[in-house]
A and B are shown apart, each in its own frame.
Chain A
């Protein structure tokens, strides 16, 4: 069993799996169950200012995208921050933290954009002895219209300002949670860093409509015939989240800024991928909402086995390991030539590679009378589509060695060379 202990911005937890600020962490009852199930940490569902609590809709607050077997691929929600009184949340936080001192307990916050509001709530949170705060600058629905959540997260200057207040008025570590509903994720991350954030967490949910009821002509989830955009999360958003995490991890402006990775983490493998791209730990919500808290057990055993296999002494050995390999397109080796190869023993002759290549790609797969499918090297551009659509994974890429002739171009494979030096690159010519 590998050592999964994690230390993230000074906050210790027995493993890097935290529950994200969301419905599963809205109250003591759930959080205690989560800790009993083995979660390393919890980000308590976002607290708002003192005063009358927010109200939620009383109809459906979640929409969903299903696979054929009703497997949950993505969920969106129009739920707001906690709708329970502040005082009760604070009491519960204190009580849970006292009983689970070894677990990370972070409190998510969202209050109006004025210094006094932040100052007031921070003082209350400190009393709970929670390990840190997470600033919810990401929530895309309901609160944003009131000048909070993603309304702040979409304006880097606000992020910086609020983060600075938080660091000024609190000794607690501060994580800034980022919204993906922006053009360049690096800008808010840089702003958080400038404001003194100890870390960023991302992604919050993505603006979305999951589906449309084709009888009532209303977006879903539907409340009395109407619907509104909600925040999308779950396995479907993972690729978007991975890219945003990597963008921050590899940017020189934000390099070294700790990242808590969020977005569709469902298995140990998802978690390991986020960590390899620079996340110091991960936060999970949809997987728990779909399967219950027990899923963390698979994450723990899976990551542990993987680390043992790799000989990683701690999660720090994994974190950021793939970051140096994330680059810009222009630096990709244009002399890396591969050809698809179909393993005839494993091929089940479904012909999907053929249909995909023939109809939508480069007509590089031949089909014989007896349904034998073979790659035409002279046509294959190695696009990978055949591999992507093959249902049995019987196609692989063969790398052509340097000096070998590419039957498609008739040229010999040369040494590494990228777009920056390519003769077709106008900027290269301009420099001449």
Chain B
């Protein structure tokens, strides 16, 4: 190792190999059986439980926790997975502090919720470790459905459809299935190639064919019309492939890149020591993508990592818990500052920000600016829908859908990040995919 945290520029191998292992290990190690029993004992088994209400997939949380406490974690897993087939990943990546755990009545009594996420992981890991799949397919219906996108929405939709006896083909633009679970989530949240393991486990239901490296509308692949000709119904769950631009001077300079690309590259890297990272890294944005990019930059050995957000910390889409995770990792968070220019000679050297304040017409940039040194600048100010079939009506830049996920085009449903509504969380995507599948099923069976 010749490089260190102090090596200028963008270089790989800033850390010892042990440090990489340590930094990117499971950031929330699983509960063992005894820990799970104690954690489960803290659940009050609330009536009409607020945690369940707060879960986008409405998992019966008190029931699954009680099943853990009675020594039947596999029954608990079935309770979870019957509502949320990606319950394993959600246990790892859900912002539980704003969902189930935020609603836990223990917050009211002692400010310390039942560890619902960790318990969910305990249950689902136990079941998946046995490679057993608790669901079986209904008799084949002879109906077929195309699902575009093998992310959380598409997988949830495909699984539910397969379970109902339909034949499903999933088309995905990437080399691997999983969508953001595979490409868009911080490495330490789902280590051990969990995303692929989960897809493999999910596919055990049978009746699902996966087609990779296939993009809707791309020459040589296929289009919506083609799918509608071949299948009885189509579900669109292709996520958001575009990245919002900063729209500032110098944005085109080298090493100013989407945070999502950095995260994806990191997830796919077989040896983190070969992954170059800047000494000074600036991340612009305030969501989970910003936090994941910033924290991982730090974990790769960047000396200074700064998240800059244009509004206050309280307004950041990343939860308080996420923000503290970043701060604990040594990331600096600057609030009330908006980028105005990227400076440098070819590549970025500095990013200039203007302080902001809330004015009568919304956020205003103030006169005063400051500059941050940057070898790398990651843009994390949101993503946008890529090209969509013309026939599909949009609303607010996303695919317009009704409550059941039906789009403006007959026999076409949509869900997940590409569709209107939801909070762009894995768990909401799962709920939307699942619910669309139920509606597709009703439609196909002639209801």
A371 touches B (CB below 8 Å): yes
A348 touches B (CB below 8 Å): yes
Residues of A within 8 A of B34 (CB): 70
Contact of A69 among B37, B46, B50 (CB under 8 A): B37
A350 to B49, CA, bound (A): 7
B47 touches A348 (CB 8 A): no
Q: Which residue of A lies closest to B47 (CB)?
A: A351
A371 touches B50 (CB 8 A): yes
Q: Which residue of A lies closest to B42 (CB)?
A: A68
A285-299: which residues lie under 8 A (CB-CB) from chain B?
Answer: none
Residues of B within 8 A of A354 (CB): 47
B21 touches A (CB below 8 Å): no
Question: B48-91 interface mask toward A, CB cutoff 8 Å, 1 = contact, 0 = none?
Answer: 11100000000000000000010000000000000000000000
B69 touches A349 (CB 8 A): no
A388 to chain B, nearest CB (A): 14
B38 touches A69 (CB 8 A): yes
B439 touches A (CB below 8 Å): no
B105 touches A (CB below 8 Å): yes
How many residue pairs, one in A and one in B, have C-beta atoms under 8 Å apart? 39
A352 to B40, CA, bound (A): 17
A69 touches B45 (CB 8 A): no
Contact of A349 among B37, B41, B45, B105 (CB under 8 A): B105
Residues of B within 8 A of A350 (CB): 44, 46-47, 105
B36 to chain A, nearest CB (A): 10
Q: With A354-B47, A355-B47, A371-B50 as known contacts, state yes or no: A348 contacts B37, CB within 8 Å.
A: no
Size bracket of the A interface: 10 to 19
B37 touches A352 (CB 8 A): no
A392 to B50, CA, bound (A): 17
Residues of B within 8 A of A392 (CB): 109
B44 touches A349 (CB 8 A): no
B127 to chain A, nearest CB (A): 21
A226 to B358, CA, bound (A): 77
B75 to chain A, nearest CB (A): 15
B108 touches A (CB below 8 Å): yes
Question: B99-121 interface mask toward A, CB cutoff 8 Å, 1 = contact, 0 = none?
Answer: 00000011011000000000000
Size bracket of the B interface: 10 to 19
Q: Which residue of B lies closest to A356 (CB)?
A: B47
A68 touches B40 (CB 8 A): yes
B38 touches A348 (CB 8 A): no
Q: With A68-B69, A391-B44, A392-B109 as known contacts, state yes or no: A349 contacts B38, CB within 8 Å.
A: no
A348 touches B69 (CB 8 A): no
Residues of B within 8 A of A391 (CB): 44, 109
Contact of A352 among B41, B45, B69, B106 (CB under 8 A): B45
Q: With A350-B46, A351-B46 as known contacts, state yes or no: A69 contacts B109, CB within 8 Å.
A: no
A392 to B110, CA, bound (A): 10
B82 to chain A, nearest CB (A): 22
A128 to B41, CA, bound (A): 50
Residues of A within 8 A of B37 (CB): 68-69
A323 to chain B, nearest CB (A): 37
Q: Which residue of B lies closest to A392 (CB)?
A: B109
A68 to B40, CA, bound (A): 8
Residues of B within 8 A of A351 (CB): 46-49
Residues of B within 8 A of A349 (CB): 46, 50, 105, 108
A68 touches B41 (CB 8 A): yes
Q: Which residue of B lies closest to A347 (CB)?
A: B108
Q: Which residue of B lies closest to A390 (CB)?
A: B44
Contact of B106 among A67, A68, A348 (CB under 8 A): A348
A69 to B37, CA, bound (A): 7
B304 to chain A, nearest CB (A): 43
A116 to chain B, nearest CB (A): 54
A67 to B38, CA, bound (A): 10
B340 to chain A, nearest CB (A): 45
Q: Which residue of B lies closest to A358 (CB)?
A: B47
A348 to chain B, nearest CB (A): 4
A369 to chain B, nearest CB (A): 11
A161 to B124, CA, bound (A): 65
Q: Which residue of B lies closest to A67 (CB)?
A: B41
A68 to B48, CA, bound (A): 23
Can you list 29 A-B pairs with a CB-CB distance of less than 8 A?
A: A67-B41, A68-B37, A68-B38, A68-B40, A68-B41, A68-B69, A69-B37, A69-B41, A70-B34, A348-B106, A348-B108, A348-B109, A349-B50, A349-B105, A350-B44, A350-B46, A350-B47, A350-B105, A351-B46, A351-B47, A351-B49, A352-B44, A352-B45, A355-B47, A367-B47, A371-B48, A371-B50, A391-B109, A392-B109
Binding site for A on B (CB under 8 A): 34, 37-38, 40-41, 44-50, 69, 105-106, 108-109
Which 5 A-B pairs rank lowest in CB-CB distance, beginning with the nearest?
A351-B47, A68-B41, A348-B108, A355-B47, A348-B105
Q: A70-B34, A350-B105, A354-B47 are in contact. List 14 more A-B contacts (CB 8 A).
A: A68-B38, A68-B40, A348-B106, A349-B50, A349-B105, A350-B44, A350-B46, A351-B46, A351-B49, A352-B44, A352-B46, A367-B47, A391-B44, A392-B109
